[in-house]
Amino acid sequence: MKLSFRWYGKDDPIKIEYIKQIPSMHSIVTAIYDVPVGEVWSIESIISLKEKVENSGLKFDVIESVPVHEDIKLGLPTRDRYIENYKENIRNLAKAGVKVICYNFMPVFDWTRSQLNKVLDDGSTALVYYKEQIDKMDPLKGEISLPGWDSSYTKDELKDIFDQYSKIDEEDLWENLEYFLKEIIPVSEENDVKMAIHPDDPPWPIFGLPRIITKEENIDRFLRLVDNKYNGLTFCTGSLGSGDFNDVVKMVDKYSAQGRIHFIHVRNIKLLDDGSFEESAHYSSEGSLDIVEIMKVLHKNKFDGYLRPDHGRMIWGETGRPGYGLYDRALGAMYIVGIWETLNKFHS
C-alpha cells in the first residue's frame, strides 16, 4: 500500500511540508486546476507541479483528476476533439512519471452534499447529505453553490446542459462511456498509466441526471466494457458505502483480488434511517463502515496500489476547504497505517 494525500496546489491553505510530516506518507495526489475542462495540460505546467511535489520529498505519481468534458458524457459530435485532448493529457502525465489517473463520469455535478459545515455532537463539523434538504434544492435557480458543482456554468448554460441530458438515459450514458474507454485505454496501456474511475457520489441519480457507477452489478459491467487491467477503479468507500445496498467489504475484496483497484479512498460515513448520511471520523466505531475489515481484505489480497484518507471532519478549530482539513485526515491516515502495520505483524 502506498499512502497518499490530496493537495489542491497553490490555492490549498495546507502547506505541502506539513503533509510530508505525516508518517509513512508516500505521494501527493493533485492536479492542474487552472486549465479549462477538456483542454490540454502543458508539459511545462505538469513538470512545474511535479517539481513542487518532489522538492517536498514526496512522490508525484497520482493525478486526481483529469476531468471528462460534458460533450463526451453527452456523446455530442464535438466529443472526439476532447477525447484527443484527453489522450494528450495521458501522454504528458506519463512523461512526468504519473502512474494512475483518477476521473469520474458523473453528469454535471461531482460529489453532492446538502451542508458543508454541519456541527456534530463532538463540536467538529462535517459534510452531510440530508435527503429532505436536497429535495428542496433546484440547481437551475442559480441559488446553490457547493463544492463538486461546476460553477463555471452560467444559469442559462446550466439550463441548456440539463436540457441536453433530458434527451439521454442511463443506457445512452453507458454507450458514451464505452466509446470513451475504447479510445483512451489503449493510450493509457501504451503509456503505462492506469485509469481509475471514481464511483458516483452519492450512488443514485441527482436532480434527474443519470448516474451509473453506483453498485456492484454496474461496476462489473464497467470493467467488462474494456476488460483490461489499465481500466480500473478508484474505489471510494464513502461514496459506495452511502448506499445501504452496497456491501463495501465484499466489493473491496472482490475487486482488489482481481487487481482492478488502482486507487482507494478510505473514509467513513454514518447512514441515517431515511437514506441520508453524515460523514464521520475514519474510525470503524464512529460510522457505518467497518474500516478494519476493509483494510483486512486489502491486506489479504496484497494490495500494493495507492490509498488516501478521504474527507475528514474539521476539528480543533481548523478552517479552510470543508472536508479537506489537515488534522482529521492526518488522524485518518495514522489510523489506516496502524491497522496495516498490525496486519503486517500478525500475517507476516
- Check if the beta carbon of residue 230 is closer than 8 Å to that of residue 267: no
- Name the domain count of the chain: 1
At residue 144, the pLDDT reads 54
Range of the domain at 190: 2-346
**Residue 111 confidence (pLDDT):** 87
Sign of the Cα torsion 7, 8, 13, 17 reads: positive
What is the domain-level CATH number for residue 177? 3.20.20.150
Say if residues 19 and 7 touch (Cβ distance below 8 Å). yes
305, 1 contact by CB (below 8 A): yes
pLDDT at residue 247 in the model: 98
Task: Specify the DSSP element, H or E, that contains 265.
Answer: strand 261-266
Please identify every residue annotated as catalytic: 198, 236, 265, 310-311, 324
Dist. CA 315–CA 119, nearest whole Å: 10
Q: Which residue has the cell 479537506?
A: 324
Where does residue 307 rank: exposed (0-12), middle (13-18), buried (19+ CB within 10 A)?
A: buried
DSSP strands (E only) in 85-223: 100-103, 115-119, 125-129, 194-197
pLDDT, averaged per 10 consecutive residues of the chain (348 residues), comes to 95 95 97 94 97 96 96 97 98 98 93 91 95 87 56 76 93 98 98 98 93 98 98 98 97 98 98 96 94 98 97 95 96 97 90
pLDDT confidence of residue 155:
76
- Confidence (pLDDT) at 141: 75
What pLDDT score does 138 carry? 83
pLDDT at 109: 85
Q: What is the pLDDT of residue 315?
A: 97
Q: How, if at all, do strands 115-119 and 100-103 pair?
A: unpaired
